[in-house]
Structure 1
Amino acid sequence: MAMARMDVTETFHHIKFCGHLHTQESLSFAQNFDFLGSDILIATYPKSGTTWMQQIVSLLLSNGNPQLVETIPNWARAPWLEQYYFKDLCRVLQSPRILSTHLPYEILAPALQGSRTKVINVIRNPKDAAVSYYFFHKMANFLPDYSTFDEFLNSFLDGTVHYGSWFDHVKGWAGNAKNLNIFYITYEELFQDLGGSLEKISHFLGCSLLPEELSSVQRNSTFGSMKDNSMVNYTLIPNNIMDHSKGQFMRQGKIGDWKHHFTSKQNTRFNDVFNVEMSDSKLDFVWE
């Protein structure tokens, strides 16, 4: 990966993206992408279980055989539509293609309109997502540096962080079920019942796996096994891009870690914004 454009920010549809991975051309390419009915699109807000779902879907499509997930990095197996290298990679992806995106629904809506692309939307409780995203900013040299968690939390709550507002993102994907062939799952559900979640996902994808194949999928998609797998833990990325001395990409993978980082004042402020933003939402969240 090039070192270029580490300090560049691209703005597209009023949302900020890191220039290291995105260009105006790559963002437009994603917006106008020609989806196929056989495609599987993993749609997530950052730090909400993207890597986990990439791993699960890769394993389900391989009938639990871990060879692929042990030899090909996740960004080559399930590349992000909006990143600059996608256009070249797209030419060599085999069907069914596993695609990933952090883009909000409204940017991809025209391209997805009328397609039977299978969308898997993973949603994580926003307090844990915010903490995880803050720690990611600390190690990712292509993201802005926030001096304190409080400063980051302000940007997270007002939607000015890179990739935009968590609230808009979640409401956009969750509010458009009728326009999409979509499956919703939460990070917390994956955490609390991985086996049951795998059965639901394989059913949605139309993969019928034998019990021993499913247990191989489960074994190879636990947090511990992914943390040790260089194809998903981002240790392949050089230190000048991701400073591994400042943290681990696979940090904890738990529910409720936010309680160790939020002050009661921050929690009250967060709840106030959450209650206003999500007042019409039917989504339920597990907080601890």
Structure 2
Amino acid sequence: MEGGREPSVWSKRQESCKMPLQGEKVSPEDWLFSYKGVLYPAKVTSPETFEALKSFEARSDDMILAGYPKSGTNWLGQILRELESTDAKYTEEEMKERINEENKLKTFPRLEFGDPGIYERMKKLPSRRIIVTHLPPHLLPPSILQSKAKVLLLVRNPKDTAVSYYHFYNNMPVLPSFASWDEYFPAFMNGKVTWGSYFDHLVEWNKYIDHERIMMISYEELKEDQVLGMKRIAAFFGFSLCEEDFARIAEKTTFQAMKAKSKETHGNFGDILFQKGVVGSWRDLFSKAQNEEMDQKFEECLGGTKLAAKMKYDVYCKA
């Protein structure tokens, strides 16, 4: 699927997410709100939207991409769109229709973003819908896990996720900044960031790891062998693609290729959303004590779990 939706969506979003004027006082509640004990950015969603989300009606052919912020959902979302549209063989007219309907939503494509009326408007989206969310299972609308919709769960090693989220926090106009990495680190560890604790997120998804309609893939395995990862995803969703399709999509959706086009697809937020895209950048910021603290936390929360084994924590997160 070619870019065509994001520019207008992002340009609208940028108008409503401008930084406060210099000297203008901004209180914490202007930036964030709490819903069920977890913080969210007030510029892009609201408690009323979360309440409306409960009534969202999933379709049996919906494709749900779930992942904590900065775990690679922008990248994998584009890969999934390319796989789906290649399998569907949309005509140019059908493609235009899909893009037009998505543009009418007037919000960045995350399930929990927008005004409370967003879910009524989403009913007009043509199937197959690709729905991206940062939410854990207990906050997803019941219809998703009760329907035959399939969920692709993306995970990323928590140290790189923490570092990427730190840069995102300090660059994204809809979020308050942290004065330093050392100020941010305890907030991340204690879930005092938007979307809450990454550890809680992983613990909850681990309960669904054997669910027949949920497949887990890691950011790191996609970086190691993108074509192999895409073949796994295609098999899960029942897509039929040839070797040439996989090669073409892999070339088109490398992190570098997407970053190069990010101004076109995501406006001024492109550089914020696509930073380095490398594995292991956590080594630049973590102190010895912080390393040990996260190793211990991960072991306490996820040690011995299937999800931990699939994430290869010892490979990617040991100093």
Scaled by the length of structure 1, what TM-score is found?
Answer: 0.87
Unaligned runs of 5+ in 2: 1-12, 20-29
Q: Report what 1:200 is aligned to.
A: 232
Q: Report what 2:48 is aligned to.
A: 25
Query: For 1:79, what is the secondary structure of its paired residue?
Result: coil
Query: For 1:16, what is the secondary structure of its paired residue?
Result: strand
Return structure 1 stretches of 4+ with deviation > 4 angstroms. Answer: 64-68, 75-78
**Quick one: which amino acid aligns to residue 217 of structure 1?**
I
Deviation at 1:113, TM superposition (A): 3.5
Deviation at 1:207, TM superposition (A): 0.6
Q: Report what 1:264 is aligned to.
A: 288
Q: Report what 1:81 is aligned to.
A: 111
Deviation at 1:89, TM superposition (A): 5.0
Query: For 2:142, what is the secondary structure of its paired residue?
Result: helix
Change (3 A) 1:228 1:108: same
**Quick one: which amino acid aligns to residue 36 of structure 2?**
H
Query: For 1:10, what is the secondary structure of its paired residue?
Result: strand
More helix by share: 2
Give the aligned length. 278
Question: 1:271-286 counterparts in 2 under 5 A?
Answer: 271-282=295-306, 283-284=308-309, 285=312, 286=315
Deviates more, 1:264-273 or 1:139-148: 264-273
Question: 1:111-190 counterparts in 2 under 5 A?
Answer: 111-178=143-210, 181-190=213-222
Deviation at 1:53, TM superposition (A): 1.2
Query: For 2:151, what is the secondary structure of its paired residue?
Result: strand
Query: For 1:87, what is the secondary structure of its paired residue?
Result: helix
Query: For 2:86, what is the secondary structure of its paired residue?
Result: coil
2:235 matches 1:221:
no
CA contact 2:68–2:201 (8 Å) conserved in 1: yes
Q: Report what 1:8 is aligned to.
A: 31
Bigger radius of gyration, 1 or 2? 2
1 CA distance for matches of 2:44 and 2:126?
23
Q: Report what 2:77 is aligned to.
A: 54
Superposed CA deviations along residues 142-182 of structure 1, whole A, max 9, x for unmatched, are 11211111111101111111101101111212212355611
2 CA distance for matches of 1:113 and 1:120?
12
Deviation at 1:232, TM superposition (A): 7.7
Scaled by the length of structure 2, what TM-score is found?
Answer: 0.79
Deviation at 1:32, TM superposition (A): 2.7
**Quick one: which amino acid aligns to residue 257 of structure 2?**
S
Unaligned runs of 5+ in 1: none
2 CA distance for matches of 1:126 and 1:52?
17
1 CA distance for matches of 2:251 and 2:136?
31
Q: Percent identical across equivalent pairs?
A: 31
2:110 matches 1:96:
no
Query: For 1:122, what is the secondary structure of its paired residue?
Result: strand
Change (3 A) 1:232 1:101: farther
Q: Report what 2:86 is aligned to.
A: 63
2:274 matches 1:250:
yes
Q: Report what 1:287 is aligned to.
A: 316
